[in-house]
Amino acid sequence: MRRLLLGLALIFMLVLPLWGNNYIIRLTTMMILYSVLSLSWNFIGGFTGYPSFATASFFGLGAYAGAISQLHGVPMYLAWIIGGLVAAVFAAALGLAILHLKGHYFAIASLVVAEVLREIVNSWTDLTGGGMGLNLPILRLDVDVQARLFYYSMFGLAIMTIIAASYVSNRRLGFGLRCIKQNEDAANMIGINTTIYKTSAFVLSAVFVGYAGAFYASWVNYIEPGDVFDILLSVKPIVMVLLGSAGTVVGPVVGAVIFLFLEEMVWRNFLTFHVGVLGLLVVCLILYLPDGLLAVDFRRFIHLKGSR
Amino acid sequence: MLILQILVNGLVLGGLYACIAAGFSLVWGVLNIINILYGSFIIIGSYVAYFTYNYLGIHPFLSVTIAAVVLFVFGYLIQAGIINRVVAAPVLTTLTLTFGLELLLNNSLLVAFTADYRKVILENPLGILDMGGIIVPLDKLATMALALLLTGLLYWVLNASRIGRGIVAVRMDREAAALMGVKVKQIYAITFGLGAVMAGVAGSVMSVIFPISPLNNIVFLSKAFVICVLGGLGSVTGAMVGGLTLGVIESFGGLIFGPEHAMTLSFILLILLLIFRPTGIMGKKGYE
């Protein structure tokens, strides 16, 4: 049953661009991008239980690395890979520096890094264009073809992320990370090298996001520091994961889909208050649905109805 | 001479910072909650001062009392009604919750007051104090003195009043305090309210110096973070030391790197401190 559903979803996603208009395709591309962000955050936040707010750093870093390499003549696909690698290397270094912090201290340190990076990008005008942002070379392709090209590229990345997530989830690494989440000292005692495990999770949470950032830069053709280092980029994946279910593979994807759906509804109806409505969503989520949608036993409702 | 002038500027600024951080540090230390709403609380305090001055003619130094009452009620209700429900949950839960509340509150402020920068312009400024070449505007000096006085008041409340002793008891050992008959949830709400009061009075006195806009929330919040990490967590003395240190560092940093990088400088300082000395310069947990 579950396999059948997954297969149907996969086929649906594959044939969607054949009939969808450009609005639908753009929206679903965004949805897949969100899924990549939430799946990535899930490595460090869901499996390991570290409240990371570093997603915006990785995204922005990847976006700028990709954009700058493209402006220096690197082909687009290669530039995306560079974006992912730069983010991964940065995450490894940052992880070694701040992963020994716990709780709030880790959260703040990861949060502040994005601000510092944004300031650096803002001031380093020669390389990054500063606050003016960067314009990327425009693809000489038909608009419809472009939309589908980006859709399938993003979809490929999402599949890679899902494979990585289920691989980690079922193997030694995922087991070790769950141990760390429950009790780090005990995990250390039973022989898990917590530093290596945590850093691996942090790098995993960065590499796909960096790639997605570089992809985003090519997709929208223009980036500026305030856009790609936006703090909301760190918060949204957390909300998506909590909406789905933390520490699972399907949860973040479900969360991302629902989140985008809500966002699209909200964005349209509350032009000046959309951030406020997002806040309201977060508050309700934490208070009434703390373990996510997947943890809700829907059969209970059906059963209740039947018995009455 | 320049060095002395900058030192004085830094200390004046630092007095305000101490006041900003005291309430934030209190909530963090006692409830183990990072109050992301803090920046917006400060801004509400500033608006109270702005509107009472412009429409009722009450001087900001007096309207601190109004700001204190307004924010205590507001803070108490938020903690008692919302945050208390998840107060023992993991860090991620409480952090995300206050973040959501902040998005909601700050957006409401933006809609209600617009993003325009406002400032309290006093009709009768106090003038300027010239101490042999070192120049300090008296309004700023009075603001700093008042801010330090209010911080001192918080110290007194925590140490001498019955409620204050309850707060300190809960901070030291929640279970033991509950067994001794302290109503923990109520103490949480009062603590959060007191934190909001410190934000409100800080915002109120600062309205004379800094422009007011809902967009400033991140600036204030990040200052509070940095000071808490600098001075160590949960003690009023720590907030004082951290605040004054940050004020001086920012003044000199502004001289060396240019004032536009003051914020980045404090962030880099924060990261370095977290990496190398997460317990703060005081180096011990403060249970006063």
Ranges in chain A, pLDDT < 70: 267, 297-308
- Of B178 and B126, the one with more pLDDT: B178
Say how far apart CA B178 and CA B181 lie, in whole Å: 5
> Tokens 């699972």 belong to which residue?
A248
CB B243 within 8 A of CB B231: yes
Say how far apart CA B46 and CA B119 lie, in whole Å: 9
CB A38 within 8 A of CB A252: yes
**What's residue A300's pLDDT?**
67
Q: Is the pLDDT of residue B229 over 60?
A: yes
Cross-chain residue pair B34–A282, CB shorter than 8 Å: no
Cross-chain residue pair B90–A112, CB shorter than 8 Å: no
Say how far apart CA B109 and CA B94 lie, in whole Å: 22
- On chain A, the residues whose CB falls within 8 A of the CB of B271 are 98, 109, 112-113, 116
In degrees and rounded to multiples of 5, residue B120 shows phi and psi of -80, 115
Which domains does chain B show, CATH number per domain?
2-276 (1.10.3470)
Cross-chain residue pair B34–A283, CB shorter than 8 Å: no
> How long a stretch of residues is chain A?
308
- On chain B, the residues whose CB falls within 8 A of the CB of A51 are 91-92, 95
Cross-chain residue pair B229–A281, CB shorter than 8 Å: no
In degrees and rounded to multiples of 5, residue B82 shows phi and psi of -120, -60
Q: Is the ipTM of this complex over 0.90?
A: no
Q: Which stretches does DSSP call E strand in chain B?
A: 128-131, 134-137
**What's residue A301's pLDDT?**
66
**Closest CB from A104, A235, A238 relative to B34:** A104
Q: Residues of chain B whose C-beta is under 8 A from some C-beta in A?
A: 28, 32, 34, 82, 85-86, 89-93, 95-97, 99-108, 110-111, 222, 225, 229, 261, 263-264, 267-268, 270-271, 274-275, 278
Share of chain B above pLDDT 70, in %: 96
What are the pLDDT digits (tens) for B2-33? 888 888 888 888 888 988 888 898 888 888 88
Non-local CB neighbours of B130 within 8 Å, separated by 6+ positions: none
Q: Is the pLDDT of residue B255 over 90?
A: no
Distance of CA B221 to the CA centre of its chain: 8
**What's residue B287's pLDDT?**
39
Q: What's the CATH architecture for A2-307?
A: Orthogonal Bundle (1.10)
pTM: 0.86
DSSP β-bridge partners for residue B135: B130
CB B262 within 8 A of CB B250: yes
Range of A72-76, A250-254, B45-49, B115-119 with top mean pLDDT: B45-49
How distant is the Cα of A263 from the closest Cα of chain B, in angstroms?
15
Say how far apart CA A110 and CA A122 lie, in whole Å: 19
What are the pLDDT digits (tens) for B238-251? 888 889 988 888 88
The neighbour count for residue B156, using CB atoms within 10 Å, is: 12
Q: What is the mean pLDDT of residues B69-93?
A: 89
User: Number of C-alpha atoms within 13 angstroms, CB side, residue A232?
Assistant: 13
The neighbour count for residue A16, using CB atoms within 10 Å, is: 15
- On chain A, the residues whose CB falls within 8 A of the CB of B257 are none
**What's residue A308's pLDDT?**
43
Q: Is the pLDDT of residue B286 over 60?
A: no
Non-local CB neighbours of B240 within 8 Å, separated by 6+ positions: B18, B22, B148, B151, B231
**What's residue A65's pLDDT?**
93
Q: DSSP alpha helices (H): ranges in chain A?
A: 2-19, 22-41, 55-71, 76-98, 103-123, 125-128, 143-170, 172-182, 184-189, 194-220, 225-228, 232-244, 250-269, 274-288, 298-307
Cross-chain residue pair A280–B104, CB shorter than 8 Å: yes
